[in-house]
Amino acid sequence: MSSLQSLDIAKRSATTSPSTQARTHVTEVAKLIDVSSCIGCKACQVACMQWNDLRDEVGENHGSYDNPRDLTPQSWTVMRYSEVEVEENKLEWLIRKDGCMHCEDPGCLKSCPAPGAIVKYTNGIVDFISEHCIGCGNCVTGCPFDVPRISKADSKAYKCSLCSDRVGVGLEPACVKACPTGAIHFGSKEDMLDYGAERVADLKERGYGNAGVYDPQGVGGTHVMYVLQHADKPNLYHGLPENPSISPFVSLWKGIAKPLAVAAMAGAVVAGFFHYMKVGPIETKDDNTSDDSPKA
């Protein structure tokens, strides 16, 4: 979205200097998606399209309600419909609103090489600043949830912004506003965890012994959380990862390897310079001794 909120940037991609820290009192926000209250109406998908002014291509019916079938540069949230039998002969229709999870430790931001193309605001929202995006696709490899999508039209990466523009002026995200059953809640992360705990208690009373809030700690927690009936098996919900974290390949590459390699390359040049100054060049000796064997 915009970079108007420069005082609210907590983390900035490919930036080694500290971010602004003048504001210290900002409340962390979160969206809580109560899967058990979702009826799969897709009002959130429509609201997302409308607020962000996006128009995806009209898709085809593939024999399920999933439409579009996947996240796209134009569809930043999609409903995932899973028909599962957790207990035999007891069909459950689990409907999960998929999209960016807004990780506290965002893998996309970590792997992005373009300064300022991905930011994390102090309120926890992770946002793509499209004008700085160079289209390399590293955010796709960095994301533990397979969320960012690269546009074929402009080679920029897109994903849910958690309506950072709305949140910035005190409104809730468009999907929250549109949800007719109140399955999507928005507020401070603390309040959302409290509300989630209430919902979990309700669900447990109704026989969902493994109900729980999905706030995976492997990525430092997320600013989009789910209430799941089967929190012990998040995989049931269209492959929601059980314990997501930034891949060790990404951590290694963007962690210790980068500064070490830069030091090695710069060090090699500096070492060469001082070697030359200390030892001096090897000159070709004038060969006046005709056919002697090499200098012993």
- Please report, as ranges, the residues that interact with other proteins according to CB under 8 A: 14-16, 111, 113-115, 132, 134-138, 140-141, 146, 150, 152, 155, 247, 249-250, 252-253, 257-259, 261-262, 264-265, 268-269, 272, 275-276, 279-288, 290, 293-296
Tell me whether residue 150 or residue 193 sits nearer to other proteins (CB atom).
Answer: 150
CB of 240 to other proteins, least distance (A): 16
CB of 209 to other proteins, least distance (A): 34
What span, in angstroms and rounded, lies between the C-alpha atoms of 268 and 252? 22
Tell me whether residue 143 or residue 167 sits nearer to other proteins (CB atom).
Answer: 143
CB of 6 to other proteins, least distance (A): 18
Tell me whether residue 86 or residue 114 sits nearer to other proteins (CB atom).
Answer: 114
Instruction: Return the DSSP state at 148.
Output: -
Tokens 């989009």 belong to residue: 224
CA 266 centroid distance within chain:
32
Residue type (1 letter), 20: T
Contact present, 222 and 104 (Cβ < 8 Å): yes
Tell me whether residue 207 or residue 281 sits nearer to other proteins (CB atom).
Answer: 281
CB of 192 to other proteins, least distance (A): 29
CB of 255 to other proteins, least distance (A): 11
**Of residues 270, 51, 60, the one with CA closest to residue 162:** 51
Tell me whether residue 182 or residue 280 sits nearer to other proteins (CB atom).
Answer: 280
Give, in order, the Cα–Cα distances in Å from 262 to each of 106, 138, 250: 24, 20, 17
CB of 138 to other proteins, least distance (A): 7
Tell me whether residue 155 or residue 235 sits nearer to other proteins (CB atom).
Answer: 155
What span, in angstroms and rounded, lies between the C-alpha atoms of 205 and 152? 48
Contact present, 129 and 116 (Cβ < 8 Å): yes
Tokens 């979205």 belong to residue: 1
Residues 6+ apart with CB under 8 A from 178: 43, 44, 46, 47
